[in-house]
Amino acid sequence: MLKRIFGLETEYGLLVHQDRPDHSPTWFAHQIRDHVFHVQRQGVLDLHHRGHDEPPGNGGFLTNAGRIYLDMGHLEYASPECHSLTDLVASDRAGDTILQRAVHDLGLGDQVSLIRNNVDHETDATFGSHENYLVTRRFPFSRRGLAPLVTFLVTRQIFTGSGRVGAASPQDAWIQMDRLIVPRAALGHRSQSAQLPFQISQRADHIVNDFFEWVQQNRAIVNTRDEPLADPNQYRRIHLLLGDSNMAEYATALKLGTTGLVLQLIEEGKGPRDLDLDEPVEALQEISQDQDREWILRLQSGKRISAIDIQEQFLAAAKMHCTGQDDETDWVLEQWEAVLQDLRGDYGCLVGRVDWASKLWLLENFREAEKLEWSDPMLKSLDLEYHNLNSEKGLYYGLLQEGRVPRLTTDKAVELAMEHPPRNTRAFGRGELVKHLLTCGPPAEPEAARKEERLFPSYVINWSIFQLRGLEPFPMPDPFKSYAQEVRSHLVRP
């Protein structure tokens, strides 16, 4: 899409199918990671510390220029930088396939399941699906400038949510008030009920701030850390962690595509006005938990308006200012309008395109057939099975095989994206580097190396720079540039 770089980071749940397992989920996660890098040789592991919780060997870059690593014991896949929704969906699916094939090759398919979701029903833990959008430094990154984005993000869950049975327990959290950080409970904010049968979002219960820098325990609608992973004088990276992990390719593309267009509207000063929410965090949870799916919200002006009406105002602005700029934009606008129209009717017409609707349809059919109450634990098990990456077991894949799910990519495109990065971003150059290291091996340590040279690892790879022993650092500050030829020339220097 126009002037946009996208990226997705997906944390996976790992379900062990044993009452008294011999190994923890983290142990299995290590086996899967090691198989990808040591046996399948699909990438190179880090040789340096990336942070206090990422020691050498914790993860590494793949030939497709994405990353697989462990985060808090969870397997996580970060897609390469993508300049189109087509590449993003294919690269995102490639991560699922790489990890699921490792499970199969290790013979662990009967012991564990990889679950692409965001909640653990037993422990109330949540794990993330993080979105990344490149914007310019001119983007109005302030509370006032970001207010339209907050309103959009709170309401987009009506077509991006993955749905869940029940609700999380009240979250202990601290929020920032001016220069003070205070307990949220001290401000009298109400907590949600844990007795809900179903809600449309998995992450909504775990979001406790509108803006915050930290990513754990104080998860925010907009994360405010400034880590561009690009030239900091030109770019900023909008990092979002409020969204659900989507199984439907359609939902993934629509989530990233609509958000990209809203960011463009804000950059160009063309966004709809007077839609600031009275209490964004409460509104986020109220929408998710509304059993009647009316989704009525209160604005700061005192006006009450539905989430669908709000989305239609953003759509109208995008149609006015963005129509015709490229084919993907026009697809997003067309599908955005279609899904909002369908949300005004029977949710059943959204099956296959919107994850929460697909899941609710499956659960309601099962409940009716088996005469179950929402409190039956079987429904939580089916909730998880919707997200199972094993195509022979996952309920989403059952819908796909029945022809109920539209595809935005193909199996062949996913296969290509498992090994090859997009060719129109700097991911292409990084992929060339990883393939070079796999083919030629890391640089050897010179016999006469000084002590400080021996302490330096043979290679260091980061998103925007890399260095091989004996060569100068190679910065890649522009995510829109492939750097492929420059990387190849750099690697053959004497």
Residue 482 CA to its chain's centroid (Å): 23
78: β partners = 9, 67
Residue pair 196/383 in contact (Cβ under 8 Å)? The answer is no
d(CA 318, CA 156): 15
Distance (Å, rounded) from C-alpha 35 to C-alpha 236? Answer: 35
Query: What CA–CA distance (Å, rounded) separates 130 from 300?
Result: 28
By three-state DSSP, how is residue 149 classified?
Answer: helix
Regarding beta strands 220-223 and 164-165, do their DSSP bridges make them parallel or antiparallel, or are they unpaired? unpaired
CA distances from 382 to 119, 360, 378 (A): 13, 11, 6
Q: How far, in Å, CA of 344 to CA of 153, rounded?
A: 19
Nearest Cα to Cα of residue 203 among 259, 241, 236, 152: 241
What would the DSSP string read from start to end of 42-62?
A: -EEE--S--BTTB-TTSEEEE
CA distance 281 to 387: 26
Q: Is 71 a catalytic residue?
A: yes
Strand 43-45 and strand 59-62: pairing? antiparallel
Q: Which is the catalytic residue, given 19, 46, 53, 71?
A: 71
Residue pair 69/36 in contact by the 8 Å Cβ criterion? no
Distances, alpha carbon 347 to alpha carbons 12, 174, 246, 339, 342, in Å: 27, 36, 17, 10, 7
What Cα–Cα distance (Å) separates residue 286 from each residue in 52, 246, 460? Answer: 37, 21, 46
Contact 109, 391 (CB under 8 A): no
User: DSSP state, 274?
Assistant: S
**Number of residues that this document lists for the chain:** 494
Angle of CA points 311, 312, 316, to nearest 5°: 120
Active site residues: 71
